[in-house]
Structure 1
Amino acid sequence: MDWEGGAASFLYDLARRCGDKEPEPGAVLRERWEALQF
């Protein structure tokens, strides 16, 4: 697993723990994360 995949998994899990019943797929979160970096 690459670090971006790990970040996406982390963000997805965090969203679930914070009460988001249906967070966006990890791939979408990963794309957002990459967009913030570049």
Structure 2
Amino acid sequence: IAWIFHGQKLDLWAFVGMGLIVSGVAVLNLLSKVSAH
């Protein structure tokens, strides 16, 4: 419920978190492909 009052801050950190997760997954996929070859 509190996130409604702090929406902008939550959105900022949510985007940062999502970006880190997406980049981490992308790196893992690239490493797995490189190691596979």
TM-score by length of 2: 0.48
Which structure shows the bigger proportion of residues in helix conformation? 2
Structure label with greater radius of gyration: 2
Question: Which structure ranks higher in relative contact order (CA pairs < 8 Å, sequence separation ≥ 6)?
Answer: 1
